[in-house]
Amino acid sequence: MKKTLLVGRHGVGKTTLKQALRGEDIHYVKTQYMDYGDWLIDSPGEYAEVHGLGAALAIYSYEADIVALLISADDDYSLFPPNVTCMVNREVIGIVTKIGKRAPDRAEAWLRLSGCEKVFHIDSHTGEGVAQLKAYLRKQG
């Protein structure tokens, strides 16, 4: 699998997505540190929300093949500025989580404005979209 860094605000569903991608039982866990796993790097939401912690995300992005920006379908705003993906020298994808809560169109528009060309819609609890994302993250060749 391509090593993937999950980035987003707290509560967006990064850890839940990690559990779904690994086929684990879904249960709430507050990520307190960079959880550097076999092929998934789960970041605390505070690293994306607090300016002084953003450097850690930049460092861990060098350890990843793909950086995944996550926005929940029920978010009222986007943390990610327009065209931010050009700051990363890795592939950046967008992931809209919690798609059962609202229409995910607004969150997808924010991710595309940030520069994500590929956007996945995921509901980690029902499994909708998880198989497609996992297939995309499989190493080619």
Q: Per-domain residue ranges for the chain?
A: 4-137
pLDDT, tens digit, for every residue of 20-70?
999 998 888 888 778 888 899 999 999 899 988 888 888 889 899 999 999
How would DSSP label each residue in 4-41? EEEE--TTSSHHHHHHHHTTPPP------S-EE-SSEE
Quote the CATH superfamily of domain 4-137: P-loop containing nucleotide triphosphate hydrolases (3.40.50.300)
pLDDT, tens digit, for every residue of 61-93?
989 999 999 999 999 999 999 999 988 889 999
The residue whose two tokens read 């994306």 is 48
For residue 128, what are the β-bridge partners? 123
